């Protein structure tokens, strides 16, 4: 079951992750939100314990960042 979050505008987004390779050859996992639960660019995932969801108050854009 993917993590889902409804922003202040009332739109529901689902958390996805994908593994990418950086220019230097290092592998990195990126997290992103999509309006659909199944997305071709990533796999649905749960929110990791070391991450927190933040919302831009102006436009309702969701981001995932590490806990401080």
Q: Is the pLDDT of residue 63 over 80?
A: yes
**Contact indicator for 3, 14 with CB cutoff of 8 Å:** yes
d(CA 68, CA 65): 9
- The string of pLDDT tens digits covering residues 2-13 is 999 999 999 999
Is residue 33 within 8 A of residue 13, CB to CB? The reply is: yes
Domain ranges (residues) in the chain: 4-66
pLDDT in tens, 21-56: 999 999 999 999 999 999 889 999 999 999 999 999
What is the pLDDT at residue 39? 86
């Amino acid at each position: 079951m993917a993590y889902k979050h409804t922003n202040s505008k009332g739109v529901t987004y689902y958390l996805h992750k994908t593994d990418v390779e950086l220019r230097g050859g290092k592998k990195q996992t990126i997290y992103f939100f999509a309006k659909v639960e199944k997305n071709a660019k990533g796999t649905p995932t749960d929110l990791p314990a070391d991450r927190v969801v933040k919302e831009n108050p102006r436009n309702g854009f969701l981001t995932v960042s590490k806990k401080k």
